Structure 1
Amino acid sequence: MGTNSYAKKGDILSRFLLEREKDPGCFGNKYLRDIILNFVIAGRDTTAGTLSWFLHVLCRDQRIQDKIAREVREATSTGDRQDAGGVEEFTARLTEDAIGSMHYLHAALTETLRLYPAVPVDVKCCFSDDTLPDGHTVRRGDMVNYQPFAMGRMKFLWGDDAEEFRPERWLDGDGVFVPESPYKFTAFQAGPRICLGKEFAYRQMKIFAATLLYLFRFEMWDRGSTVGYRPMLTLKMDGPLYVRASPRRSIGN
């Protein structure tokens, strides 16, 4: 495939291949392989898994689901009674300003990540001797493990309702999203190693979630069913998530 073919494509891999033709020494096969592997692991499984857990918790609380759907409708409304329309009409109104004004949706996704972090257990390796903020000494080569899954359920961090799914904990009195310290909410890590794709992931999830909730209402296929998890590199559901989707003709339906 030649340069012109790569230039016509808008995907990230094609952009890297185009740069490699300009400067073959900077983008070898191993480098490109590592880039693609990183996108597959960090940019696909994590986002897809979070959206699955997001739908699960919304099926358990229709009040929250309807509140998000109402916010999405208000954020994308043009004042025309014909706003309803289909997916193409809706996505045309899903602008950056509209997405940015969806604070409750942002809070609900963040609350999902608090309880169901995409990476449930993480580890860091010390490159040099250091002292942690609590005074604990670590040596070069030591491994430090931390568990975002358990941390998101600690009452001394999040209060007595730590195990409750409550998006409101992320909003101020005016309904504006207020982030927590990344050292408390570690879903995207913190400091120099904070996830480079954090904002992209939020935008991707908000677009996907807003479109689905604008068009459909979701409920568990079997209301008595339970959903387990498999603690792997990413937090996967232990089996498929069976939901029923019905057209959302109005908020509350």
Structure 2
Amino acid sequence: MGILLAIAGFTFGGILVTAVWFVYLLVKSYAGKSVNSPEYAPVKGTVFQQMLYFNRLYDHHTQLARSHRTFRLVGPSCSHLYTTEPRNVEHVLKTNFHSYSKGRYNQEIITDVFGHGIFAVDGDKWKQQRKLASFEFSTRVLRDFSCSVFRKNAEKLVAVVGDAAGRAFDVQDVLMRCTLDSIFEVGFGVELRCLEGSSKEGGEFMKAFDDASALTYWRYADPFWRLKRRFNLGAEASLRSNIRTIDDFVSHVIATKRRTTAKVRVLYIYIWVRLAYVRRILYVRYY
């Protein structure tokens, strides 16, 4: 009986602490956010509401945007601003891009998946990586190669969609497979064959990357994600497993590419030496 009472006490205490914590987060979310001020975008809820609509999150955001093209979801530390207004999008992504950094809040959330790449950094690091990427993609050889890859995979995509005529299929999944095939072939010279479904490793990588992206976005709605990451629980445990799968696959691809490049380099050196040797023999015989 004492054990049951202890279990019940711990359970009730946990529920009570969780409820109090959520109330505190809600109060903190709305406090000082100028909820009714016409100078700010209207508030359509809190970031925690996204947990209720997570499986249809894009539809939920679209529904909210139909009533207000720009709106806010408030949170304890900051508000999340959403906009479908073309002028706002142009202002953020083009005319005043330098004023909108990712910031430490976003970087803390996405760094586990994207590391310190161009998608997760700001300032000089971003400029350096963008300059490097722009230089690489501005070369004619890469442009021609990437165009041929995109055309080839576009033809495969048309074939896959054609085969699925008359039945339901996941468009996002098909487009994801096509995109990954194109990016990896252009970036690493490796054909994943995700669109064809013939590569087991490529399929596992694609699923891990897709799940990791969704779980990373889940952090924006989950106030306990840091605690879960600390103790490797729930969604954070799944995210860590997916990141491990991604890292292992990419490391394998890079190592394979390096070995292939090294073999090609050795072959070039061998051919060059042989040609030099032949030229020397011909030179000696001629003179």
**What is the TM-score when the length of structure 1 is the normalising length?**
0.26
Q: Who wins on radius of gyration, i.e. which is larger?
A: 2
Which protein, 1 or 2, shows the higher relative CO under an 8 Å CA cutoff with sep ≥ 6? 1
Say which structure is richer in helix.
2
Say which structure is richer in strand.
1
